[in-house]
Amino acid sequence: MPYTNGMTQESFNSLVTPGTPLETLKTKCATCSMHQLCLPMGLDNNDMDRLDQIIGRRRKVTRGSTLFRIGDSFQNLYAIRLGHFKTYQLNREGGEQITGFQMAGELIGMDAISTDLHHCTAVALEDSEVCEIPFDSLQQLLVDIPALLRHFHRMMSQEITREQSVMLLLGNMQATQRFAAFLVNLSSRYEARGYSPHTFQLRMSREEIGNYLGLTIESISRLLSKFKKEGLLRVNNREVELLDPIRLKAITAGTHSYT
Amino acid sequence: MPYTNGMTQESFNSLVTPGTPLETLKTKCATCSMHQLCLPMGLDNNDMDRLDQIIGRRRKVTRGSTLFRIGDSFQNLYAIRLGHFKTYQLNREGGEQITGFQMAGELIGMDAISTDLHHCTAVALEDSEVCEIPFDSLQQLLVDIPALLRHFHRMMSQEITREQSVMLLLGNMQATQRFAAFLVNLSSRYEARGYSPHTFQLRMSREEIGNYLGLTIESISRLLSKFKKEGLLRVNNREVELLDPIRLKAITAGTHSYT
DNA sequence: CGTGAATTTGACTGACATCAACTCAGGTGG
DNA sequence: CCACCTGAGTTGATGTCAGTCAAATTCACG
């Protein structure tokens, strides 16, 4: 399997499965190679070092535990080094509305910049690890390193466009399309990270998927069964194999046609 | 009516009604007093001047015409000086999905930073006027004025949280709640700008409201009638008067109770 | 193995969409 | 000035997609 870093799905799983000794990883966020903050920018070594220096402690977050909560005061952004998270808001009755699923390499907490308070809660979907990035320090660095500033703006902007596409999904698409879009999105994100785009674990429950997509758990279950029946994918618990990504993408497209 | 700037709804309308000579306004974006970019920051006069200098030409956008289109290359952010806009994405069949309605004082175009291409189209809902803010120049200025940098980040972050609350609305709320939330949101934004929170014009058509809220034009019409019947508001074409904002806010809250 | 939680499946219901007819305001031209 | 037209909006009848409720099944874990 020709994935960019030669890491197999299995070795990845072994790293993030609960119980695996994470200590075997390097304890420093060496030149940030794992997260998107400096990866695609072409910083020189000096800048890299400075970025490394402001990056705070690594922090392990066990499955189900909370990285930050709605209302917490904002100090840090978090770069996910390992694992998966969900972020959610609360509706007026205390129910969750999941606003996103984040994976290794992604940055969370940017919604808190506006008011210095977190507007969502972030919970680890599996044993995970993050780098704390103290926002005050980061801001000082942004002034000194224009490339970093530009990149940071791109990342915030990317979050805006990501959310816009979720609005499109929730406002415009049928259940079948939504779920297909969800799978295609996961697939492409795994591919971008060098993992198989065809075979991956759903890190979230059916309930969480449904919540995110504005559907019920039963609908998700039915859609999985339907896709299975139509030869679009294989499912085994949370293990998914996409058998016909082309057709899946086509389903994503048609607004009201597909049944 | 004790609104902050003493501007009445009528005088505001007279400014933005098609045909009114906009030339009576000052031609320079004098110390940016109209838009949020520097308003709440406490910049000194020197900084203000520098900000003024980078702000490009004022641009009038007539009702129905386009400020920028999906796929356009990104050069400027736009601060709305006058009027209202809608922004929308396209689904795969070419249909609009409106992602937001923007009014005077708001900044649009931030979703384009990530890829240097606009991800949405912005159309004026009435004769409007914007300030062009060349993003390259702005970025240089951000480096020199930390307060401006911080404020710019707050504005981007605010856009992220705004979209998250729309996701909550689309993913979690019933039609009645969505529409109530929409009205309450408009109301509070007008209030923040010194206009009446109770009486205002809907600048967008029923169809556009429905599109934004993930509902049909007929549903919006029925909801208006229902609210009218229940004494929550008065409607006359696009003129709305909220008669019971308290109850309207209450409706926003309950997820599945209100019928 | 056994127990509770998660998921699947089926039958039924309901909220909102769709389709269609109608009203009304604003503009146009005779 | 008024008849006509057009497009936006309203209202009613009907259909359908996904939600709700309930039961069966599988899975996770002690």
Facing A97 at nearest CB: one of B115, B167, B252? B167
What pLDDT is attached to residue B37? 55
**Mean pLDDT confidence for A63-78:** 95
The CA distances from residue A39 to A57, A159, B81, in Å, are: 19, 17, 38
Banded pLDDT at B39 (limits 50, 70, 90)? low
- Kindly indicate the confidence band of residue B17, based on its pLDDT and cuts at 50, 70 and 90: very low
Reply yes or no on whether the pLDDT at A44 is more than 90.
Answer: no
Distance (Å, whole) CA A202 – CA A200 = 7
pLDDT class of A46 with cuts at 50, 70, 90: confident
Give the rounded distance of the alpha carbon of B244 from its chain centre. Answer: 23
- For the residues of B102-164, what is the DSSP string, one character each? EETT-EE-GGGTTTTB-SSEEEESSSEEEEEEEHHHHHHHHHH-HHHHHHHHHHHHHHHHHHH
Per the rule left: phi > 0, alpha: psi between -120 and 50, beta: everything else, A6 is left
Return the ∠ at Cα A104 (arms to A100 and A109), rounded to 5°: 50
Residues of B in contact with A170 (CB under 8 A): 167, 170-171, 214
Q: Is the pLDDT of residue A135 over 80?
A: yes
User: Cα–Cα–Cα angle for B7, B8, B14, nearest 5°?
Assistant: 95
Structural tokens at position A33:
């190679």
pLDDT, tens digit (0-9, with 9 covering 90-100), for A192-239: 999 999 999 999 999 999 999 999 999 999 999 999 999 999 998 889
pLDDT recorded at residue A36: 58
Nucleotides of chain C in contact with protein CB (under 7 A) are 6-11, 15-20, 25-26
Residue A256 contacts strand C, CB under 7 A = yes
Per mean pLDDT, which range of B89-98, B196-205, B248-257 is the poorest?
A: B248-257
The verdict on a CB contact (< 8 Å) between B157 and A89 is: no
Task: State pLDDT tens for residues B160-172.
Answer: 999 999 999 999 9
Is 80 exceeded by the pLDDT of residue A5?
Answer: no
Cβ of A203 near strand C (distance < 7 A): no
Q: Among A92, A161, A211, whose Cβ lies nearest the Cβ of B255?
A: A92
pLDDT in tens, A13-41: 222 223 323 333 333 344 344 455 545 56
The residues, ordered by sequence, that sit 6+ positions from A164 with a Cβ below 8 Å of its Cβ are: B89, B99, B111, B119, B120, B163
What is the per-residue pLDDT across B55-78, written as a single tens digit (0 to 9) for each? 878 999 999 999 999 999 999 999
| Cα B195 to Cα B201: distance, rounded to the nearest angstrom | 11
**Which chain A positions have a beta carbon within 8 Å of B97's beta carbon?**
167-168, 171-172
Say yes or no for a CB contact (<8 Å) between B99 and A158. Answer: no
Measured between CA atoms, the residue of chain B closest to residue A165 is: B89
Mean pLDDT of A131-158: 93
The confidence score (pLDDT) of residue A232 equals 95
pLDDT at A41: 60
Helical packing angle, B146-172 and B135-144, nearest 10° = 120
| Alpha-carbon gap, residue A128 to A80, rounded angstroms | 8
Give the one of B92, B113, B150 whose C-beta lies nearest to A255's C-beta: B92
The number of CA neighbours under 13 Å toward the Cβ of A20 is 19
- At B45 the pLDDT is 76
CA distances from A35 to A38, A120, A123 (A): 7, 21, 18
DSSP characters over A105-174: T-EE-GGGTTTTB-SSEEEESSSEEEEEEEHHHHHHHHHH-HHHHHHHHHHHHHHHHHHHHHHHHHHH--
**What is the average pLDDT across B146-175?**
95
Residue B36 has pLDDT above 80, yes or no: no
pLDDT in tens, A55-64: 878 899 999 9
B219 touches strand C (CB under 7 A): yes
Mean model confidence pLDDT for chain A: 83
The mean pLDDT value for B199-228 works out to: 96
pLDDT, one tens digit per residue, over B86-115 is 999 998 888 899 999 999 999 999 999 999
Mean pLDDT (chain B) is: 83
Q: How many CB atoms lie within 10 A of CB B235?
A: 13
- B1-16: average pLDDT: 32
Q: Do B93 and A254 make contact, defined as CB atoms within 8 angstroms?
A: yes
Q: Which of B88, B89, B138, B164 to mutate to test the interface with A (most CBs of A within 10 A)?
A: B164
Provide the CA A203 to C1' C9 distance, Å, integer: 24
B245 touches strand C (CB under 7 A): no
Tell me, what's the pLDDT at A42? 65
